[in-house]
């Protein structure tokens, strides 16, 4: 067996591990179940990749996102390490080839989603594999209290039966003490070694800015930026709009959301990484598993639903260890929106009973029957028939899924998407010769303004109500336009399928899970309340607020957040070092006056002037005839 240090040097080119990495690796090599709780950018993947390479056999990696899997598999292949992945859309023949390679091909890693693990053919193949380690990435997804709960993660423990001697390693960046405990229990980990790195990021400045003109504030932040930027917006339309506004102002930006075709996502990610378009305006579909060092800004323009989400997304800045900023820009209306979206729309126990009864009536399930029956499900039609609020019903169905009453297919919540790829004039000319298609097409153009810019979700029921045409007629018209090369189309014949997991017993069914349902709602309310406290508390260091939320005790202010930088003078050695680094980074690019430095940095002017004097006295910087500072 090669030593971990030798493997690290050979494949990663590093001479030493980051803090805690070697201890985690040695625990895994010794065959012990292990938990690695490391903040975003803390090097979690090395903690299972190095021991898997060191030991004979193959490591199975359970990962929640295709983008994350593809990124890690590509990285391993570039290093000359044999790795495979089983993603969606893989044909049966290719699946069998991949599994055969995993059994006989001397591969070191097999990545798959938790859903793939439920296939019998996959389980049978795993039995034959020489598995040395099972790694569960984003392990908080298994906890019902975790922000990104994913029901399929509950079935990961089948691997305990298939490979009882293989150690587990669970990895996550965002787990409160409650989530951590639930994760360990849910994975049936046996006296695991728990490794927890401090959540403090010394180089990351958490800025919270209350601002009505958000575009102006973003422009001021970015006008002197030289690295990559991620700007998060919670809806697809907003990403398109802000990206266009930034491009108009002379910035190079692109938008990114889950509705883009896979090849377009890959291209935009590549353009962003190479900094040909350094600014990415994105929904939270962007960033998971993308380990890019030179991100100088992560900017949120709306409030997140939880500090777990915010901390993970903000943590994508400054992975190279240099000064970076995580900026949250909000206004008073944002606080109203986050309450309305995530608290006011929660489904109560009474709501769950009402939705559950309506579902059983909708599918004509008899009392005492229905367990494990599967039904195609049109969400919009269901809500329309029973006059249900779509948002609270959507949340109610998600809760019923989470609590084990029913199972929603992965397609739940998806809508058909349409993207006009031909020029506007060409499309209108085509309409001129096709009256029926013209009615349908022009109605869609009026309803969905961004349909020429990117794949846009369209509600066929809504289009039907506006045009008076049947759904089949609308679908046929859209397919004709696609056949003429005017658009790309992805039709969802139904929103989802629903599988009932329990026999129908109406209120009695819901009563058995009522305590857990109330607890889930209380948890969501507490998460939103924590976000609001975070933005409203202007007296406590932002870094202290965040790490305290994750169960870490510290009383040392970071010195660089929006609270600490409002102080008049530099008060700590840590703040001094970070401010020095930030100033020298700016002067590396161009000579700048003190005023220009004050505009490009978020520190108080008095602090910048204080450190400039110190750097000048040390001979690290000089000043030219135009009163601009430069590096010596």
Interval 441-495: pLDDT, tens: 999 998 887 788 888 888 887 888 889 888 889 989 999 999 999 999 988 765 5
Q: Are residues 180 and 42 in the same domain?
A: yes
**Assign residue 559 a region: left if phi > 0, alpha if psi is -120 to 50, beta otherwise?**
left
Q: Are residues 164 and 235 in the same domain?
A: no
The number of distinct structural domains making up the chain is 4
Q: Which residues of the chain have pLDDT under 50?
A: none
Q: Are residues 92 and 217 in the same domain?
A: no
What pLDDT, on the 0 to 100 scale, is given for residue 495? 56
Q: Are residues 449 and 593 in the same domain?
A: no
Question: Smallest Cα–Cα separation from 207: which of 321, 133, 298?
Answer: 298
The whole domain housing 173 covers: 4-196
What pLDDT, on the 0 to 100 scale, is given for residue 147? 66
Determine, yes or no, domain membership for 101: yes
Tell me the CATH number at 590. Answer: 1.10.10.10
Q: Are residues 233 and 180 in the same domain?
A: no
Burial of 626 (0-12, 13-18, 19+ CB in 10 A): exposed
What pLDDT, on the 0 to 100 scale, is given for residue 55? 96
What pLDDT, on the 0 to 100 scale, is given for residue 302? 95
What pLDDT, on the 0 to 100 scale, is given for residue 292? 84
417 near 457, Cβ under 8 Å? yes
134 near 159, Cβ under 8 Å? yes
Final residue belonging to a domain, choices 180, 196, 212: 196
What pLDDT, on the 0 to 100 scale, is given for residue 571? 65
CA dist 181 and 422 (Å) reads 53
Tell me the CATH number at 313. Answer: 3.40.50.300
> What's the CA angle centered on 113, arms 108 and 116, to 5 degrees?
100
What are the residue ranges of helices labelled H in 433-541? 435-447, 460-467, 471-483, 507-511, 514-536
Supply φ then ψ for residue 42, to 5 degrees.
-85, 0
What pLDDT, on the 0 to 100 scale, is given for residue 414? 65
Determine, yes or no, domain membership for 135: yes
Determine, yes or no, domain membership for 356: no
Q: Are residues 192 and 210 in the same domain?
A: no
Label residues 364-401 b or e (16+ Cβ within 10 Å = b).
ebeeeebeeeebebbbeebbeeeebeeebbbbbbbbbb
Determine, yes or no, domain membership for 545: no
Q: Are residues 192 and 216 in the same domain?
A: no
Q: Are residues 187 and 312 in the same domain?
A: no
């Amino acid at each position: 067996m090669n030593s971990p240090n030798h493997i690290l040097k050979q494949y990663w080119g590093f001479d030493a591990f980051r803090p805690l990495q070697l201890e985690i690796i040695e625990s895994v090599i010794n065959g012990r179940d292990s938990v690695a709780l490391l903040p975003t950018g803390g090097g979690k993947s090395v903690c299972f990749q190095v021991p898997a390479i060191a030991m004979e056999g193959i490591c199975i990696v359970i990962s929640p996102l295709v983008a994350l899997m593809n990124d890690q598999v590509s990285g391993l292949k570039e290093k000359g390490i044999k790795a495979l992945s089983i993603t969606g859309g893989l044909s049966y023949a290719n699946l069998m080839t991949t599994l055969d390679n995993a059994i006989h091909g001397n591969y070191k890693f097999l990545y798959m989603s938790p859903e793939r693990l439920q296939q019998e053919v996959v389980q049978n193949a795993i039995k034959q594999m020489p598995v040395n380690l099972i790694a569960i990435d984003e392990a908080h997804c298994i906890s019902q209290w975790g922000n990104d709960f994913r029901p399929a993660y509950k079935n990961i423990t089948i691997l305990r039966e298939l490979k009882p001697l293989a150690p587990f390693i669970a990895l996550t960046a965002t787990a409160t003490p409650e989530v951590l405990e639930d994760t360990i229990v849910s994975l049936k980990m046996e006296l695991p070694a728990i490794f927890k790195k401090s959540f403090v990021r010394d180089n990351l400045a958490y800025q919270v800015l209350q601002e009505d003109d958000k575009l102006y504030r973003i422009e001021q932040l970015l006008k002197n930026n030289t690295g990559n930027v991620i700007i998060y917006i919670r809806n697809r339309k907003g990403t398109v709009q802000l990206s266009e506004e930034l491009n108009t102002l002379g910035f190079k930006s692109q938008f990114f959301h889950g509705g883009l075709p896979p090849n377009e996502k890959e291209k935009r990610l590549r353009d962003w990484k190479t900094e040909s378009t350094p600014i990415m305006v994105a929904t939270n579909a962007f960033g998971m598993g993308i380990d890019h060092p030179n991100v100088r800004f992560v900017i949120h323009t709306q409030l997140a639903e939880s500090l777990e989400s915010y901390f993970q997304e903000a943590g994508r800045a400054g992975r190279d260890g240099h000064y970076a900023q995580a900026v949250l820009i909000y206004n008073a209306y944002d606080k109203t929106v986050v309450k309305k979206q995530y608290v006011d729309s929660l489904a109560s126990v009474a709501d769950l009973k009402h939705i559950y009864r309506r579902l059983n009536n909708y599918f004509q399930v008899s009392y005492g029957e229905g367990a494990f029956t599967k039904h195609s499900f049109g969400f919009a039609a269901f809500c329309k028939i029973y006059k249900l609020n779509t948002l609270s019903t959507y949340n109610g169905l998600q809760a019923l899924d989470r609590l084990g009453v029913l199972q929603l297919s992965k397609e739940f919540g998806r809508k058909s998407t349409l993207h006009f790829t031909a020029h506007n004039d060409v499309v209108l000319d085509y309409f001129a010769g096709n009256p029926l298609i013209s009615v349908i097409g022009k109605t869609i153009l009026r309803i969905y303004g961004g349909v020429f810019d990117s794949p846009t979700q369209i509600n066929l029921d809504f289009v039907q109500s506006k045009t008076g045409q049947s759904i089949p007629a609308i679908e046929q018209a859209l397919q004709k336009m696609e056949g003429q090369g005017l658009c790309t189309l992805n039709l969802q014949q139904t929103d989802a399928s629903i599988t009932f997991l329990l026999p129908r017993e109406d209120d009695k069914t819901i009563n058995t899970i009522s305590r857990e349902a109330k607890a889930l709602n209380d948890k969501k309310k507490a998460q939103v309340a924590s976000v609001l406290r975070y933005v409203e508390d202007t007296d406590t260091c932002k870094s202290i607020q965040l790490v305290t939320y994750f169960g870490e005790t510290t009383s040392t202010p970071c010195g660089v957040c929006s609270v600490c930088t409002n102080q008049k003078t530099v008060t700590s050695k840590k703040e001094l070092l970070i401010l020095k680094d930030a100033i020298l980074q700016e002067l590396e690019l161009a000579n700048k006056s003190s005023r220009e430095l004050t505009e490009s940095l978020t520190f108080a002017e008095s602090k910048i002037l204080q450190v400039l004097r110190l750097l000048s006295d040390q001979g690290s910087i000089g000043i030219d005839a135009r009163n601009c500072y430069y590096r010596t």
